[in-house]
Each structure stands twice: as structure tokens, then as C-alpha cells.
């Protein structure tokens, strides 16, 4: 299948009007929809934005390749947009994008479709080809230039394959590439590495982990004879096969942008030896670097959230029967409400810190870290060390298991099986348990008591300042590290019995989507029709405390929108604290407002004030749509 079987003149825009990333995406989605290639344009656009949230598909050199594979696509297709002036696509090199290819792959796209789509992405690495596309006068001329270039590329690939067959010793260097969607970046990184190796006179074989499966799989003999392996991937890769070989682990973008540097590092002996016995998820070093603390913490938080949300909302529902309806000694006792409260508080909430610790430890040390992490987290819960104790237990368990793996690495091979089922769990649980019991839990429990007393004794001015900080943090990155830091602090305070901080946090998190929704309604000339339509859904997203619903608006105009979000969220947090509101449920938005401690109407007022601040600032700061 040829590229021109998927790209047609009716899916081209040679003069894009939009000057922003969101605008370009809207134009190209509309073009695909008008040409009859989409089943559900809104769902397809959402899939495109989801991919953009993982990393920008503006790869630099004036190119952007937004792409998605979803059942919202009726017929696999490519849309092409060209901007002579360039558009701000948040590209990796910070430069405007001039050539934008939007790839629409259907959920059932066959291998031919996917290989054709990936071939387009590799053609764009050629500067001369990009110049040809920029200078083409008509859609038909664009089609011809793509067709000619593709024929040239396919001929070159046949020559390369023939050369590889003649090479008896096998490739000197191996590589594996992969990106989250496996459509574009996977193959662009592969081509960049192959082109660079060819230029340097080095033989290379690249395995691609694409959406159509593993292509050009590395063999055991090739791995054994290779000088080293480059792993340029943002997805998990089979790693055990590389045991004892030099492996340079990087992100897929490094493979695209810095192929020479990666090849040089392997050839110069700078790639570290990979040890499968120590475990690895096979993720890129970029992810590991971001990793450290943050990646492990987020692994714990994301797995804990279902317990927090499910248990918290069930607790909130129980309050509808009366604030004391779960107390058997109170006149308002209700057996169903008591059951809900027990499920939420006694079980879900009782497990949440253990789950947090277990998955933090598992992120650090793989499966052997899970048991000591869970037990350490449960000890933190029962010993009064709470959320903070669970965090410490998770990291403690993970790194203790790593140390145990290193300490036991010299044991005879015959004991490998028994290490996992006996040595690791017994020794790690013993060490973590002893440290938690005697060293960690007592001082952390005491610290929690001091912190709770300090928060309870704060004066009005200090409480308002805390509300400003916590509320504002929720809008800084809307679901990112700063937002999650505030959210996890709020959960810790609920666990400690202080409900005021989380009231400010939820109010601050509801404001960005609510504020932008109101702004799209009032200041209609500041937004495109698509943005106004998206604004309607933001009312619901905000009402249910889904701060991420405001991200597309912030991404389109961050310099103006994000400050407006922060100002509104900080205001809502300040008023929530000023009004003395406490929130016992960690999630739920408008659904749990009736359960707040204090006056629910005042809490609603705090959120509305913050929403108004954001909406007015957006209206004042944002420029009208041209």
C-alpha cells in the first residue's frame, strides 16, 4: 500500500489558518471529518490530544505528526496541513511547524496500513523532501512528490536488505525503538539510527515495537554477537534477553534527534552492562530519570486512587442519612449507612496506605518489593504513622529489596528459584517490619500528631494563606506533579482527621474547568466554535472535580490561561478555608458538597467566586479569535 492510497487531495489544507497547536488539530480533524474518514470526530480529537499529552508530536525541523489509533476512525487516512508562516506546535526544538501530517489509524488497521503510515514519518526526515512539499503549488503536485519520494525510499530499502543478507558476521550494533502509540516516532527513530549508522559505515539492525507488533525482531545470535544495544523507547521492552550485554537506555526522542551520539556511546564502551537478575521494566532512561522519586510515587498514588475515590464516595453517601447515621449509639443510626461507612472507612481507607506503599516498592524493585511494601504500609496505618509513614515504608521496602538482590547475587545458580519464593520475602519483610516497628512508626506518628494540632490551632490569616497555596497548586499543572502533591497532602490530612485542607484542594481543582466553561459562554469572541463546544463539557468536568478537563485550553494559550486558572483556584481555596469548610470525602466534586463540615452553601460560594475570578481574567487576558 502506498502513502497516496491514504493521503488524498480532499484531506489536504495547503494554507492553514490556525496559529496554535489546538487550532491546527481542529482544522485537520474537521478536514478528515468532512472527507468522510471519521466515525466520531470528537472522540478522534480526544485521542489526538491524549497522545499530545504524552509528549508533543511536533518533532522539530518544522514537522508535526499528530496521530491516533482509535475506533473513531472510519477509514485509515492521512490529513496534510501546510503553514507558510509556521504555527506554534510546541515542537521539541521550540521552532514553528510548517508541515503537519495527521495520521488517523482505525482500531482494526491492518499491518499494510500501519507500515505505510510509518513510512511517511521516515520520509519526512529528508530535508530535501520537506523543501519539495513546502514549494509545491497544488494538491496534485504534493501527491506526485510524495509518490516519487516513496518509490525512491522503497528501492533504497531493497538495496539495504540485500546488503544485510550478504553480511555474514551480523550487525555490529542492535537497537530497539518504541513509542506509546507505535505509529510514527517508533519508525522515525529506527530510520534515524539506520541512516546515521550507514553514514558512519557501521552495520545495525533495529527492532521496532510498533502498534502492529514487533518488527524485525532481534535474534539470540545477533544479541550474543553485537557490540551493544541501543534501547530508544518510551514503552516496555523485553529486557531479559539482553542480560550481560552493554545496553544504552534512552527515550524514543533521543533516537530521532541524537542518533550519532547514541551510536558513539555504544562504540566507545559507555553503555552499562544490563543485569536481568536485578530486574527492569524496560522503560526508557528518560522515564527512569523522571522516575526516581516521582515515578515511583505516582505508581503508588495511581494504584491507591480507586481505594480513595471508591471508599471516599461511599463514606460521603453514608452522610446523606445523617452525619451520625453510622454510629449505632446515635438516634439517627441507619444500618445501610453504617455498612457504607464501614466499607469506605474501615476497609477501603484502611487498605489505601498499604496499597500506596506496596506499589511504590513494586515500582522500585519489581514484584519482590510488593509484599514488604504492603506490610510496611499496613504497619504505618495501624501504628498511627498514616500516609507519611506509608510513603516511607514504600521507598524503604523497595530499596531494601534492591540491596538484598545485590547481596544475594553471588549465591549459586541452583538457588535462584528459592531466592524469589523464600529469601526475598522473608528477609525483606523482616527488615522492613523491624525498622517500621522500632525506628519509623513512633516518630512519624508523633509528627502527625504535632502537625494535626498545628493545623487545628492555626489562626484565620494562616489558614487563608494555606488555602491560597493549596488551591493554587491544583491549577499549576492540572493533574501533574504539583497538582498531585497538593492532592496527596489533602488525603494525608483526611487520614489524620483534619478535613479543612482538602476542602481548599477540591475547590481549587474544580475551578479551572468551571472557569474556562463560563469564559467560553460569556466571552464567545475569544474562542473558536470548537472551543466553545468543548467549554460545555467543561461544566460537567469541573462539577465532578476533573481538573484535567481544562488542559486543552491551557495548552493552547498557556501564558494567559494558566495564570487565570491559578488566580481563581487560589481564591477558591482561600475562601474555603476562610469559611471554615471541612471535606471528609477525597473526591466527587458537586456530588459530595452536601457532606462538608460547615455550611455547604458557603463552600459553593467559595467555588463560584474562584470560578468568576478565572472567567473574568480569561476574558481580559485572552485575545479575540481572528
C-alpha span between 248 and 546 (Å, rounded): 38
C-alpha span between 47 and 146 (Å, rounded): 27
- List all residues 6 or more positions away from 443 whose beta carbon is below 8 Å from its beta carbon: none
Nearest to 514 by CA among 533, 534, 538: 538
67 noted as active-site residue: yes
Residue 121 contacts residue 186 (beta carbons within 8 Å): no
Handedness of CA 336, 339, 345, 347 (dihedral sign): negative
C-alpha span between 241 and 618 (Å, rounded): 54
Phi, psi of 333 (to 5 degrees): -60, 135
Q: Return the exposure string of 615-626: e unless at least 16 CB atoms fall within 10 Å of the residue's CB, then b.
A: bbbbbeebeeee
The continuous run of DSSP H or E covering 102 comes out as strand 97-106
Residue 570 contacts residue 508 (beta carbons within 8 Å): yes
Helices (H), 268-348: 285-319, 335-341
SS3 78: strand
Query: What would the 3-class secondary structure string for 242-286 be?
Result: HCCCEEEEECHHHHHHCHHHHHHHHHCCCCCECCHHHCCCCCCHH
502 noted as active-site residue: no
C-alpha span between 572 and 554 (Å, rounded): 19
> What size, in residues, is the chain?
626
| Active-site choice (49, 98, 179, 185) | 179
How far is CA 617 from each of CA 283, 316, 473, rounded to the nearest angstrom? 41, 34, 18
Query: What would the 3-class secondary structure string for 173-189 be?
Result: EEEEEECCCCCCHHHHH
310 CB-side CA count, 13 A? 14
Neighbours of 599 (CB within 10 A): 12
| Active-site choice (49, 67, 98, 296) | 67
Q: Which of the residues are catalytic?
A: 67, 179
Amino acid at each position: 500500500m502506498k502513502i497516496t492510497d491514504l493521503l488524498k487531495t480532499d484531506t489536504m489544507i495547503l494554507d492553514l489558518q490556525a496559529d496554535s497547536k489546538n487550532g491546527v488539530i481542529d482544522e485537520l480533524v474537521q478536514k478528515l471529518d468532512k472527507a468522510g474518514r471519521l466515525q466520531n470526530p470528537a472522540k478522534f480529537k480526544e485521542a489526538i490530544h491524549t497522545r499530545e499529552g504524552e509528549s508533543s508530536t511536533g518533532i522539530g525541523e518544522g514537522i508535526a505528526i499528530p496521530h491516533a489509533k482509535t475506533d473513531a476512525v472510519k477509514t485509515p487516512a492521512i490529513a496534510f496541513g501546510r503553514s507558510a508562516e509556521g504555527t506554534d506546535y510546541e515542537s521539541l526544538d521550540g521552532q514553528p511547524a510548517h508541515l503537519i501530517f495527521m495520521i488517523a489509524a482505525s482500531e482494526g488497521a491492518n499491518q499494510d496500513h500501519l507500515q505505510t503510515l510509518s513510512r511517511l514519518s521516515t520520509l519526512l526526515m529528508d530535508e530535501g523532501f520537506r523543501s519539495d512539499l513546502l514549494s509545491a503549488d497544488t494538491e496534485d503536485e504534493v501527491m506526485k512528490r510524495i509518490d516519487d519520494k516513496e518509490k525512491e525510499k522503497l528501492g533504497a530499502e531493497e538495496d539495504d536488505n540485500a546488503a544485510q543478507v550478504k553480511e555474514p558476521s551480523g550487525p555490529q550494533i542492535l537497537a530497539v525503538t518504541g513509542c506509546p502509540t507505535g505509529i510514527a516516532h517508533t519508525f522515525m527513530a529506527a530510520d534515524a539510527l539506520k541512516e546515521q549508522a550507514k553514514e558512519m559505515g557501521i552495520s545495525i539492525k533495529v527492532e521496532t515495537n510498533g502498534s502492529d507488533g514487533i518488527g524485525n525482531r532481534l535474534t539470540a545470535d545477533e544479541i550474543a554477537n553485537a557490540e551493544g544495544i541501543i534501547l530508544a523507547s518510551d514503552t516496555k521492552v523485553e529486557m531479559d534477553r539482553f542480560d550481560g550485554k552493554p545496553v544504552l537506555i534512552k527515550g524514543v526522542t533521543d533516537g530521532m534527534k541524537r542518533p550519532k551520539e547514541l551510536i558513539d556511546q555504544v562504540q566507545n564502551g559507555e553503555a552499562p552492562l544490563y543485569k536481568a537478575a536485578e530486574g527492569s521494566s524496560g522503560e526508557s532512561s528518560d522515564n527512569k530519570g523522571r522516575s526516581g522519586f516521582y515515578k515511583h510515587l505516582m505508581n503508588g498514588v495511581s494504584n491507591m486512587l480507586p481505594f480513595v475515590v471508591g471508599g471516599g464516595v461511599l463514606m460521603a453517601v453514608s452522610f446523606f442519612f445523617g452525619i451520625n447515621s453510622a454510629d449505632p449509639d446515635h438516634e439517627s443510626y441507619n444500618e445501610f449507612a453504617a455498612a457504607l461507612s464501614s466499607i469506605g472507612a474501615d476497609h477501603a481507607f484502611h487498605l489505601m496506605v498499604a496499597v500506596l506503599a506496596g506499589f511504590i516498592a513494586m515500582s522500585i524493585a519489581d514484584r519482590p518489593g510488593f509484599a514488604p511494601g504492603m506490610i510496611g504500609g499496613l504497619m504505618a496505618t495501624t501504628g498511627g504513622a498514616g500516609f507519611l509513614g506509608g510513603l516511607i515504608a514504600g521507598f524503604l521496602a523497595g530499596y531494601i529489596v534492591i540491596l538484598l538482590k545485590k547481596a544475594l547475587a553471588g549465591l549459586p545458580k541452583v538457588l535462584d528459584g528459592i531466592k524469589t519464593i523464600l529469601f526475598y520475602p522473608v528477609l525483606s519483610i523482616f527488615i522492613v517490619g523491624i525498622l517500621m516497628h522500632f525506628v519509623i512508626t513512633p516518630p512519624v506518628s508523633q509528627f502527625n500528631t504535632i502537625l494535626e494540632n498545628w493545623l487545628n490551632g492555626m489562626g484565620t490569616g494562616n489558614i487563608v494563606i494555606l488555602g491560597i497555596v493549596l488551591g493554587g497548586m491544583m491549577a499549576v499543572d492540572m493533574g501533574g506533579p504539583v497538582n498531585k502533591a497538593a492532592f496527596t497532602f489533602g488525603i494525608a490530612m483526611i487520614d489524620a482527621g483534619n478535613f479543612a485542607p482538602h476542602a481548599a484542594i477540591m475547590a481549587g481543582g474544580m475551578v479551572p474547568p468551571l472557569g474556562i466553561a463560563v469564559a467560553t459562554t460569556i466571552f464567545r469572541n475569544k474562542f473558536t466554535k470548537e472551543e466553545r463546544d468543548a467549554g460545555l463539557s467543561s461544566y460537567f468536568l469541573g462539577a465532578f472535580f476533573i481538573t484535567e478537563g481544562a488542559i486543552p485550553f491551557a495548552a493552547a494559550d498557556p501564558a494567559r490561561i494558566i495564570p487565570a486558572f491559578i488566580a481563581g483556584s487560589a481564591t477558591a481555596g482561600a475562601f474555603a478555608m476562610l469559611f471554615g469548610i471541612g471535606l471528609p470525602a477525597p473526591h466527587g466534586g458537586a456530588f459530595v458538597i452536601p457532606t462538608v463540615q460547615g455550611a455547604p452553601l458557603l463552600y459553593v460560594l467559595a467555588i463560584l467566586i474562584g470560578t468568576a475570578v478565572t472567567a473574568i481574567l480569561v476574558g481580559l487576558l485572552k485575545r479575540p479569535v481572528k
